[in-house]
Amino acid sequence: MRDRKGSGALKLLFGLILLGFMAFVAFVGFDAQQYGSIYDIDLGLDLAGGVSITYQAVGDASGEAMSDAKEKLRKRAESYSTEASVYMEGDKRICVDIPNVKDANKVLEELGKPGALKFKNEAGEEVLKPEHIKTAEARSRRSDGVSSNSIEYIVLLTLTEEGREIFAEVTAANIGHQIAIVFDDEVVSAPVVNSKIDSETCEISGMDSLESAETLATTIRIGAIPVELEEVRSDVVGAKLGEKAIQTSLLAGAIGLGIVILLMIILYRVPGIAASLALICYVAMMIVVLAGFDITLTLPGIAGMILSIGMAVDANVIIFARIREEIGAGTNVRTAINNGFSKALSAIVDGNVTTLISAIILNILGSGTVRGFAQTLAVGIILSMISSLGITRLFLTGFYDLGIRGKGAYGETKKTTKLNIIGKRPIFFSISGVAIALSIGLLIFNASQGQMMNYSIDFVGGTSSTIDLPKDYTLEEIQSQIVPKIAEAISETNISNISSNKVVDSNQIIVRTKTLNLEERASLTEMLHTEFEVAEDGIQMQNISAAIGNEMRRDALISVAIATLCMLLYIWFRFRNLTFAAASVFTLLHDVFIVILAYLLFNWTVGTTFIACMLTIVGYSINATIVIFDRVRENLSTGSGKKLTLKEIFNLSINQTMTRSIYTSLTTLIMVIVLAIVGVSAIREFALPLIVGVVCGGFSSVCIAGGLAHLMMHKKPAEATTQK
pLDDT tens digits for 641-674?
Answer: 457 888 999 999 999 999 888 888 888 888 889 8
Q: Confidence band (pLDDT; 50, 70, 90) for 245?
A: confident
1 vs 611, which has greater pLDDT?
611
Q: Is 581 exposed, middle or buried, given 0-12, 13-18 or 19+ CB atoms closer than 10 A? A: buried
HSE toward the beta carbon, residue 69, CA cutoff 13 A: 28
Dihedral angle over CA of 374, 375, 379, 381, nearest 10: 10
Segment 460-476 shows an average pLDDT of: 85
Q: Apex CA 544: angle with CA 543 and CA 550, to 5°?
A: 165
Segment 529-551 shows an average pLDDT of: 79
Fold classification of 117-225 (topology level):
Gyrase A; domain 2 (3.30.1360)
Q: Confidence band (pLDDT; 50, 70, 90) for 722?
A: very low
pLDDT value of residue 721: 43
The answer, yes or no, to whether residue 216 has pLDDT greater than 70, is yes
How is the chain split into domains, by residue range? 2-41+241-409, 53-114+230-236, 117-225, 425-440+548-721, 462-544
pLDDT value of residue 598: 94
The answer, yes or no, to whether residue 159 has pLDDT greater than 50, is yes
DSSP state of 192: B
360 vs 424, which has greater pLDDT?
424
pLDDT value of residue 183: 63
pLDDT value of residue 718: 44
pLDDT value of residue 595: 93
pLDDT value of residue 13: 94
Q: Which are the contacts of 523, defined by CB distance < 8 A and separation ≥ 6?
A: 489, 490
The answer to whether 708 touches 583, Cβ cutoff 8 Å, is: yes
pLDDT digits (tens, 9 = 90+) for 114-134: 556 678 888 888 887 777 888
Segment 412-439 shows an average pLDDT of: 91
Query: Which of the given ranges, 131-145, 318-332, 506-520, 529-543, has the highest pLDDT on average?
Result: 318-332
Dihedral angle over CA of 490, 491, 494, 499, nearest 10: 0
319 vs 105, which has greater pLDDT?
319
Segment 599-624 shows an average pLDDT of: 79
Query: Which of the given ranges, 266-270, 304-308, 515-519, has the highest pLDDT on average?
Result: 266-270
pLDDT value of residue 319: 92
The answer, yes or no, to whether residue 717 has pLDDT greater than 50, is no
d(CA 372, CA 84): 17
Q: Which are the contacts of 627, defined by CB distance < 8 A and separation ≥ 6?
A: 318, 347, 351, 657, 660, 661, 701
715 vs 634, which has greater pLDDT?
634
Verdict on whether the full-model pTM lies above 0.75: no
484 vs 417, which has greater pLDDT?
484
- CATH number 3.30.70.3400 given to 53-114+230-236: yes
Segment 426-438 shows an average pLDDT of: 95
pLDDT digits (tens, 9 = 90+) for 50-78: 788 888 888 888 887 788 788 878 877 87
pLDDT value of residue 504: 64
Q: Confidence band (pLDDT; 50, 70, 90) for 719?
A: very low
Segment 468-477 shows an average pLDDT of: 86
Segment 216-234 shows an average pLDDT of: 69
DSSP state of 191: P
pLDDT value of residue 110: 66
Share of the chain above pLDDT 70, in %: 90
Segment 203-229 shows an average pLDDT of: 72
83 vs 330, which has greater pLDDT?
330
pLDDT value of residue 299: 72
- CATH number 1.20.1640.10 given to 2-41+241-409: yes
Q: Confidence band (pLDDT; 50, 70, 90) for 489?
A: very high
d(CA 291, CA 323): 36
Q: What is the CATH number of domain 462-544?
A: 3.30.70.3220
d(CA 88, CA 508): 33
pLDDT value of residue 271: 95
Segment 98-123 shows an average pLDDT of: 72
664 vs 537, which has greater pLDDT?
664
Alpha-carbon radius of gyration of the chain: 31
pLDDT value of residue 26: 92
d(CA 283, CA 294): 17
Q: Confidence band (pLDDT; 50, 70, 90) for 601?
A: very high
The answer, yes or no, to whether residue 20 has pLDDT greater than 50, is yes
pLDDT value of residue 720: 39
pLDDT value of residue 603: 86
Topology alike, domains 117-225 and 462-544: no
Does residue 96 sit in helix, strand or coil?
strand
- CATH number 1.20.1640.10 given to 425-440+548-721: yes
Mean pLDDT of the chain, nearest integer: 83
pLDDT digits (tens, 9 = 90+) for 172-192: 999 988 988 776 677 877 888
The answer, yes or no, to whether residue 391 has pLDDT greater than 90, is yes
Q: Which of 50-54, 305-309, 381-385, 692-696 bottoms out in mean pLDDT, i.e. has the lowest?
A: 305-309
Share of the chain above pLDDT 90, in %: 23
Sign of CA pseudo-dihedral 580, 586, 591, 592: positive
